[in-house]
Amino acid sequence: MSRTKLPLSQESIAPFDLEALVQEAAQLNQRLLDAFTTPFPKAPERWLSQYEFRPRPTEFTAAGEVEGGISWLIGATIDLSFTRALFARYYSKEGGHCYDPASSFCLEVASRVDRYPDYASFCADLRQQEKGRRYREIAGLHTAIPGEDDLSHFRRRVDAGAIEAALAVLVGLFQDFGLITGELLSTDGQLEPSCSRFKGCAYFSQACRQLPLDAADRHELGRQLQAGAKRLELRCPFPEVVQKVLHATRKQGQPREPKVALLEIEYVPADSAQTTAHQQLSEWLSLPQDQLPPLRIKWSHLTQGPQGELWGSCPKVPSDLDAKVGYHIDTKAPHKNERVFGYLHQTTTNIAIELGLELPVGTSTYPANVAEGSHFQAHRATLAIPFQPQQVELADAGYDAVENYQGIRSRGGIPIIAYNPRHEDLSAEALFARGHDAHGTPYAPCGRLCRSNGYDYHADSRQYVCGRPCPVSEREQCPHGHKVRGYTRKMSFHEYPRLIGPIQRGTREWKRLYAARTASERTNSYAQEVLDNGRPPKLRGLKAFRFAGAIRTLAHLLRRALTFLLDVTYTLGKLLPVKT
């Protein structure tokens, strides 16, 4: 791949070349050494590796790429030893030897930044003498080299919170450098499937895996067996689930109670019957063997305890109990919704329009069934981007909730959120009866739309005037015709939080800003198609997906930011060997 020059003026990009970042990173490295002082509990002689940052030369190929890739550039400029203090609380002085968590974190970042699809392919290169030399050097590996199990163990041991804290540090670096301003932010969600199959029931819980069966349940199963049923099942034992299923199926016109299938049998000739099956069923259902027909068990979800107690498990319980069902637009059939059993990653992107640069600054992960808008305030509070006056926040109609507008305005920000009609009647007659159009612009008594006459930031309200566009003859009959601006109406944000704001909904400026929201879609696409190589990670559990979302966002930020800096340096003609 060869680099192309950026279509930007040299004056606008001059502060963002690689040498400037090296200087900024050197100052950050010193601040981090002073700020993160939590000692690591294990003695250094029990570390299998030891990460140690030191300045390294950065060289470029003829095509303008860094020798060793983006991961080498990270290792040559940013001191990651501060992460040892972040991960200290996940380790103890007891136990065996361990890899330096700063080394493990460095390898985790390198595998994501350099787009390895999985640990297997990364560890294969890590162990190669020449190909893995740079990785081993920046991570502080000498005699012991971690494998897939070691990296997986690190991922399971630490919490996503530590990765998010490291992400906040790097966001701060690029804020100080000027690539992240926080003036224009866009938030959007992305569904990601779990490596677990959805089995048809959305109300599962841990209790569904061990259902106690009493004498009445055994009798009911025995009755079904003697009646010739092939699949033995019981009514779901959870009343709240039964009510939810009845309510959902009633809407479809066929209300039905949920059943838990526990056993399936096949009736066979007497000479083909299974003796062990007869013995098991006799014990499970408390029936004499001579009352059982010839059969064989095809599958069973029944187990018997040491005291003879009988337990069942619902076959509709998936292997991932944290995952939920969510829906998004099917890319192959846009008129349909696609079901996704998994998780929602809610990501905020910083947009620098003048630089054409979009950088992710934070991710929150939830089960896929959550409403994005209801978690926006909690997600926003976790970001390392400070609140500032006139900060513009973009979001689609999924975030069109009163509390989101109020939260953004209370911090001095400007919400640009698509309006969600929610089955409202938007006919011309209904809007006129309401008193304003779909964008919140009021009608004058004569039926003409008013126009904005400015926004009062102190009162958080917008004044509208008709401007007297009517003919003189009509104006003379109008009770507002003698006024300078004609009919006037003040609409406050307090009364109409979804419609009124500093930037008038539906105007050219509002549409221009909202159009920048596609940056979030590009961020999501980049994460899927570039960092994940178009393949979703094979993970289960909320903890695993939180970690994956955080480390991917961190790698995304580093890869996009450093690629931009390399493009700037190439555009300025400075791609020479740089000593860091």
Same-domain status, 121 and 162: yes
At 142 the pLDDT is 92
Name the 3-class secondary structure at 90: helix
In a domain, 129, yes or no: yes
CA 571 and chain centroid, separation: 34
Asked whether residue 127 is domain-assigned, the answer is yes
Sign of CA dihedral 104, 109, 110, 112: positive
Residues forming beta bridges with residue 394, ordered by sequence position: 186, 416
Q: Which amino acid is at 193?
A: P
First-to-last C-alpha distance (Å) of the chain: 24
Q: Which of 269, 297, 312 is the last residue of a domain?
A: 312
Same domain, 163 and 216: no
Q: Per the domain annotation, does 108 fall within a domain?
A: yes
Instruction: State how many domains the chain has.
Output: 2
Q: Identify whether residues 132 and 215 lie together within a single domain.
A: no
Task: Dump strand ranges (E) for 291-437.
Answer: 295-300, 302-304, 310-312, 324-329, 337-352, 357-367, 392-395, 414-417
Pairwise CA distance, residues 112 & 121, whole Å: 12
Residue 197 lies in a domain: no
Helix axes 148-157, 119-127, angle to 10 degrees: 130
- Look at residue 431 and tell me if it is in a domain: no
User: What confidence score (pLDDT) does residue 188 get?
Assistant: 97
Q: Is residue 192 part of a domain?
A: no
Of 312, 346, 371, the position where a domain reaches its end is 312
> How distant, in Å, are the alpha carbons of 38, 92, 448, 494, 499 from that of 439?
53, 58, 14, 16, 6
Same domain, 164 and 305: no
Residue 305 shares a structural domain with residue 255? yes
Q: Are residues 131 and 50 in the same domain?
A: yes
**What is the number of other CB atoms lying within 10 angstroms of the CB of residue 270?**
7
Same domain, 145 and 271: no
pLDDT of the residue at 576: 56
- Residue ending a domain, among 263, 294, 312, is 312
Residue whose tokens read 């995304």? 556
In a domain, 416, yes or no: no
> Which segments of the chain have a pLDDT < 70?
1-2, 575-580
- Residue 84 in any domain: the answer is yes
Question: For residues 140-150, b (16+ Cβ closer than 10 Å) or e, as one string?
Answer: bbeeebbeeeb
- 355 near 525, Cβ under 8 Å? no
Residues 210 and 175 in one domain: no
Same domain? 22 vs 169: yes
Structural domain span for residue 292: 206-312
Are the CB atoms for 544 and 155 separated by under 8 Å? yes
The encoded tokens of residue 81 equal 């030893």
**Based on the domain organization, do 43 and 153 belong to the same domain?**
yes
Q: 245 and 210 share a domain? A: yes
- Round to whole Å and give the CA distance between 546 and 344: 10
Question: φ and ψ at 55, to 5 degrees?
Answer: -60, 135
Q: Are residues 71 and 161 in the same domain?
A: yes
